[in-house]
Structure 1
Amino acid sequence: MAAAIENHALPFLDRMRDLVQRMGYLGTGARKWREFTEVVYLAITLQRLGETEQACKLLAHPPRRLGDGGRIKVAALRDCFGCPPVSPDP
């Protein structure tokens, strides 16, 4: 997962505008998990801005509709960020 982020996600995000503008753009639908990639890119952007706690909160409870594959990817990203464990889904 870390290699995929480094090789694909970060170069894509670097081509976008500065981090603060990117956060505003991505934040539109990401907080409701409309698009998995928007949530992931927003979390990465938050983490790169030094807002790791906010990134961890964003990734804390992915919806069940993501399925096991998506939930495993979110868990790997949380692990990469050093996020604390989360309580079971609310």
Structure 2
Amino acid sequence: MPLMLSYLLPIFIDLSTANFGIKLLLYSIPFTHAFMAPQNMIMGNTAQVLYGIAYQAAVFTVFVTLAARLFSGDALLTLRFRFPGGRT
């Protein structure tokens, strides 16, 4: 659903005149930057395209790091997690 939201809303709403809350909601979804890139390149907004690429790279790095930490050990397979305080 967030993927369709980030694709359809910029088609029907002009983001340059949109409410700050709507802008924040849409730009927090990484797919919005990919969908807005062709329009921004045609209009000459290369800075916004570069910002979108950097944001997508940062989100990608965070999620790959989280996935690597999650799947690095056997805790996921054995369902035994070590919590702070000595509980297992």
Q: Normalising by the residue count of structure 1, what TM-score does the alignment of the two structures yield?
A: 0.34
Name which structure has the greater RCO, CA cutoff 8 Å, separation 6+: 1
Based on CA coordinates, which of the two structures has the bigger radius of gyration? 2
Q: Normalising by the residue count of structure 2, what TM-score does the alignment of the two structures yield?
A: 0.34
